[in-house]
Chain A
């Protein structure tokens, strides 16, 4: 799996992401600067990492979404290429129009930084095939603007088309108000686009991939991507 990680000024999770991708695939990811106008040849996966691109000025992800490299990412996604956006990366993909909706201020206004539980809604996608449907995983979150919102029509479509892949839940998998940490519509933690090749999620699976991190529940996402691409090759 050849992956490319986008780097914007203010991004700070690109090395965590590179480590997770290297562990899962055995290949060193390429770091792609925001001013580039193309992606490295043979890229299988584009990752938009977390952080605070452009200091979150204007709106989270708004300025990064208009960077030159995003045209290349749009073309890559339109051709069916896999794109993963985590945290600020999710916000950037929404602002870029690659995913519907918007990440608003957390309902209780606080920056939240701790582990959460996620329910994997289905396992038949490139982004979830390393898990079982209904499986509960534990991964960290660290964000102030992760409250996913979209108009009613969009939410209906997301649910109807099975495009919600990850949802905030309790340790035993119950999706309820208490476990909906940031107030997101329908406890949404991660969604895919219409053709299923672009995933945006607020939690950080790349930070739970080694025993030393205290948990390895994030491995399934990366292992699943590697398996998907090996099968496709």
Chain B
């Protein structure tokens, strides 16, 4: 199964990289960019076909390593 874990900074956490990207987009003249927050996407292949089990494993992965829950939130999706 294909799965995706998306990790984003919690609101209120300063994101200097996002700010720099935001500045670059504005200077490129890209219209209507109000703000940018940078995050991470992990595409993960899960063996087996038990969706609930896969979701539990992905949550475990995110809690243990993929996200630092002091500053980050994560979302887990089993795609297929």
Contact = CB atoms under 8 A, between A and B. Distances in A.
B68 A102 contact: yes
B47 interface: no
Interface string A35-70: 000000000000000000000001100110010000
A107 interface: yes
A122 interface: no
Category for how many chain B residues contact A: 10 to 19
B14 interface: yes
Given A58-B66, A66-B64, A105 B17 contact: yes
Is chain A's binding surface mostly helix, strand, loop or mixed?
A: loop
Is chain B's binding surface mostly helix, strand, loop or mixed?
A: helix
Interface string A179-216: 00000000000000000000000000000000000000
Given A105-B16, A109-B16, 17 more contacts: A58-B66, A62-B68, A66-B65, A95-B68, A100-B70, A101-B70, A102-B68, A104-B14, A104-B16, A104-B71, A105-B17, A106-B16, A107-B14, A107-B16, A109-B17, A149-B13, A150-B70
Interface of B: 13-14, 16-17, 20, 64-66, 68, 70-71
